[in-house]
Amino acid sequence: MGTSITTLSAGIMLFLILDPLGNIPIFLSLLKNVAPQRRRYVLVRELVIALITLFGILFCGSTVLRLMQLRIESVSIAGGIVLFLIGVRMVFPREGGVFGDAEGGEPFIVPMAIPGVAGPSAMAALMLMANSQPGRTADWSIALFCAWLATALILLASTWLFRLLGQSVLSAIERLVGMLLVALSVQMFLDGVATYMKWS
């Protein structure tokens, strides 16, 4: 994670990682067995759980790293690998979407909140930002909230967007976002390797 990253670019990166457009057909599928009058409530609940989880990672990530005696370049490399796998799955989607099928019934935490919105790549990116520039926690909080808010608005309008854009357009957008995430993952991996080589 370079030192020149801005709040705007961090927010855009997090928005791409959260992938609301790619999640629209998946979330609609997860909610199809939920009573119509409860669908919006369930979606809002899962989005709030995801936001709380992501803020917990942002504020407690450095403590977790210290307790586990992990170096920041390790998080960068691991985050790059996870993000690469997520991006590849978006470019070459499988049945059930990026994080697979869910069991029947009303979703609770898994898989909508975690890992649907608050996935491992988002957690790794937040831990990396929090530890590379700990003095900018306020900036990262703004970036996270803006990315989450945009994601929430898109997912709350998922039924309308699905009818408007159609499956083929949403699939094309998901593949494009996947390509961007693959490029971001390579950069994260190379930054981690470069830092490791510099300080080893």
**Poorest-pLDDT segment among 56-60, 84-88, 99-103, 195-199:** 99-103
Domain assignment of residue 98, yes or no: yes
Asked if residue 179 belongs to a domain, the reply is yes
Mean pLDDT of 13-36: 83
Instruction: Flag whether 171 is in a domain.
Output: yes
Quick check: is 1 in a domain? Answer: no
Residue 2 maps to a domain? no
Using CA atoms, how far apart are residues 164 and 158, in angstroms rounded to an integer? 10
Q: List, for residues 138-176, the tens digit of each pLDDT value.
A: 999 999 999 999 999 999 998 788 778 787 887 787 788
- 7 by DSSP, 3-state: which? helix
28-79 pLDDT tens trace: 877 877 888 898 999 999 999 999 999 999 999 778 777 888 777 777 787 7
Give the structural domain span for 119.
Answer: 7-194
With respect to residue 52, please indicate whether it lies within any of the assigned structural domains.
yes
What per-residue confidence (pLDDT) applies to 2?
46
Tokens of 5: 């990253």
Mean predicted lDDT score pLDDT of the chain: 82
What confidence tier does 198 reach under pLDDT thresholds 50, 70, 90?
A: confident
Distances from the Cα of 193 to the Cα of 28, 114, 189, angstroms: 39, 28, 6
- Is 3's pLDDT higher than 50? no
> What pLDDT was estimated at residue 139?
95
Cα atoms in the 13 Å half-sphere on the side-chain side of 20:
21
Report the chain's terminal Cα–Cα distance, integer Å.
18
Q: State how many domains the chain has.
A: 1
- Report d(CA 127, CA 77) in Å as an integer: 12
